[in-house]
Amino acid sequence: MSTTTNPTTTSSVRWLDDDEARAEFDAQIRQWLGLSGDEFLRRWDAGDYRGIEDDVDHPDVMNAASLISPVRP
């Protein structure tokens, strides 16, 4: 099977800078967990989510955990 690409097509992907990524992280954490991104990271680092970070009964925590590495230095 061959794939043909169109060289005149531009990507619709827009990369976020560090500030934009942090703002998006904060907005998502507020929506999913009702707390700030900084508070989530503080609780994450303190171990408050240990044992539930990959529990399917806590999808919001799983989603939040998946967003940590792009906002960490």
User: For position 9, what pLDDT does the model report?
Assistant: 66
Rounded to an integer, what distance in angstroms lies between the CA atom of residue 13 and that of residue 58?
29
Q: Which residue type occupies 45? A: D
**What is the reported pTM?**
0.75
Q: What is the DSSP letter of 31?
A: H
Q: Per residue in 7-57, pLDDT tens?
A: 666 778 888 888 999 999 999 999 999 999 999 999 999 999 998 877 888
Higher pLDDT, 11 or 69: 69
Domain edges within the chain: 18-71
1 falls in which pLDDT band (50, 70, 90)? low
